[in-house]
Amino acid sequence: VDVLVNNAGILRDKSFGKMDMADFDLVVQVHLMGAAHCCKAVWPHMVAQKYGRIVMTTSSTGLYGNFGQANYGAAKLAQVGLMQTLAIEGAKHGIHANALAPTAATRMTEGLMPEEVLAALKPEAVVPAVLASEQAPSRTILCAGAGTYEAAHVTLTRGLHLGLTPDTPERLLAALSQVTDRTGETVPGSGAAQGDNEVRQALAARR
């Protein structure tokens, strides 16, 4: 097994207030757990052969949100988290993991868009963005639709050390624009980068 593309999906759209939790769980089971089970099945084979390409089908809903799709968005962003970790753990075995957020006319989108738009969103236009070749990078989130290709990034701002005092909540609120300032933001190599940044600033403040 050289390539796994996790593409199974269903929709159970409804605003969160009206959503049955059974429908929330069902969507998570198909999108997230379906991908996890498939990855688990191919993982030992890819490790043994020192090669593998795994692609998660995420969504702009998971990356940026969309009304009526809390279940779908949660499951799709969770796939990105799974991809990030599999890419880190698979690196020494030659296993690359990536994610693709496609915009395409499928059975799930029939009736949701005008015919002209559906015609432009041919599924074939998404295929070049399936990063599954030998030359594919790892830990890349591509977005694709109608022949346009973009990249999405999960970034970390430089942040601001405020320490911990009784008035830290108020000072944080007042300084939020500095904390969220994207100047100099980075794409961390792993989740440990957040803690490293926080501790580094804390120690520097003591000097």
User: Which residue in the list 51, 64, 72, 149 is annotated as catalytic?
Assistant: 72
| DSSP 8-state secondary structure symbol assigned to residue 17 | G
- Alpha-carbon distance 154 to 55, whole Å? 17
Q: Is 64 marked active-site?
A: no
Q: Residue 98 forms beta bridges with which residues?
A: 55
Answer left, alpha or beta for residue 110, where phi above 0 means left and psi between -120 and 50 means alpha. beta
Sheet architecture: strand order including 95-103: 3-6, 52-57, 95-103, 141-145, 148-152
- Alpha-carbon distance 49 to 145, whole Å? 33
Answer left, alpha or beta for residue 143, where phi above 0 means left and psi between -120 and 50 means alpha. beta
The residues annotated with a catalytic role in the active site are: 72
